[in-house]
Amino acid sequence: MTTIKIADAIADLLRDGMPVRFEAYDGSGTGPEDSPITLELVNQRGLAYLLTAPGDLGLARAYAAGDLVVHGAHPGDPYELARRLKGHTKFRKVSPGEIVALVRGLGFANLKPPPPPPQEHLPRWRRAMEGLRHSMGRDAEAISHHYDVSNAFYRHVLGPSMAYTCAVYPDADATLEEAQHEKFDLVARKLDLKPGQRLLDVGCGWGGMVIHAAKEYGVKALGVTLSQQQADWGKEAIDREGLGDVAEIRHLDYRDVFETGFDAISSIGLTEHIGVRNYPSYFGFLRDHLKPEGRLLNHSITRHHNRREETGAFIDRYVFPDGELIGSGTHIKEAQDAGLEVMHSENLRMHYAMTLRDWNRNLVDNWDACVDEVGIGTARVWGIYMASCRLGFEWNEIQLHQVLAVRTGDDGSDGFPLRPSW
């Protein structure tokens, strides 16, 4: 039986070649010898991960499990690794004869899938057995998987703002905290918040927008989130700020909010989780909860096109289970079809690339504390996830849109000035 060198086999399977140095536990190596980054496959389980889940998912499994070790890049910010691997992780089509030769050369045992790392969520077909996609129960489970990790971990990565959405950088030298403050303030200005008004913030996270609106604009703000840990943190933050009489956070699905007649609604980072097929009911619900001339600001990650496209396996299994993205044109269409008048749309794509850059830096700076809090596997997953997403924004594969709309009055009044005031 002919033995195949592992590095040669992997390099041959890759559709576009090996862009970094790759070395395997059998002593083989491939890829440019002068590469500043080396991937080291340290054991047989890692090989089985690569072969049984070709592409991003297999790489993620081996990396999270510690079977694929990166040299030359910090695991908290593997941006350079992600940049070099981009477009080089897919396997080419393999003929039946090549499969037979591969099995003979590498061993049949390497084609038996090992159990996935504990950080991995169930595949879509398994989740479907536990409830319809974007049902209240399944949404609650998906949100818990991503957000109920550890408030301390998020504090290390996100910084004092605890804002896990795209910041808005007033200039290139602004700090992450300055940019997150500007994001919340931009939302408030677009909503034209005034003292005494009522704001509903759906998908409120740790309460950043609720606190900003109540503290800086004097509104009475209600936030809702499906994450219990976020709600607990937000309630404590409200108490620390002494805002208990004007700000509230509930552990609640937005669909269960019973109050109506809000002057403004902010949705910052929720639309990604609700499912495209639910957009009509989502925008309809928000419209029905606004008073006439009440404004909606929808802040969401979008695609650069409006075609339906499933999220990749790595993001779906490790980061955002059941997450769905589509273009801003679909957001605008569905908002209009729900009876909202769309007044303005803004693309903040590069701001999100900068936000992810700064989150990666925070992860590096607090690496030991993050590992102590969530474990080395989860910390690695977060490093590669944020670095990869940064590339997606830089390459215009994904975008970030703020869409401003209003519930126009029966007489056509919208309450807007002739020119934007924000």
Q: What is the pLDDT of residues 146-199, one digit of tens each?
A: 455 689 999 999 999 999 999 999 999 999 999 999 999 999 999 999 999 999
Per-residue pLDDT reduced to its tens digit, 299-341: 999 999 999 887 888 888 888 888 899 999 999 999 999 999 9
pTM for this prediction: 0.92
Per-residue pLDDT reduced to its tens digit, 44-79: 999 999 999 988 899 999 999 999 999 999 999 999
- The pLDDT-based confidence of 145 (bands split at 50, 70, 90) is very low
Query: What 3-state class would DSSP assign to 59?
Result: helix
What type of residue sits at position 201? D
Strand partners, 193: none
- CATH for 140-406 is 3.40.50.150
Q: How far apart are CA 22 and CA 96, in angstroms?
A: 26
Per-residue pLDDT reduced to its tens digit, 382-413: 999 999 999 999 999 999 999 999 999 999 99
Q: Is 370 a catalytic residue?
A: no
- Closest CA relative to residue 270, chosen from 229, 315, 308, 320: 320
Q: Could you tell me if 61 and 122 are in contact, meaning their C-beta atoms sit under 8 angstroms apart?
A: no
Q: Which strands make up the sheet holding 220-225, listed edge to edge?
A: 247-251, 220-225, 198-202, 262-268, 290-303, 398-406, 341-347
Q: For the chain, what are the domain ranges?
A: 6-111, 140-406
Helix axes 176-191, 208-217, angle to 10 degrees: 70
Per-residue pLDDT reduced to its tens digit, 3-26: 789 999 999 999 888 999 999 999
Per-residue pLDDT reduced to its tens digit, 348-363: 999 999 999 999 999 9
SS3 per residue for 275-321: CHHHHHHHHHHHHHCEEEEEEEEEEEEEECCCCCCCCCHHHHHHHCC
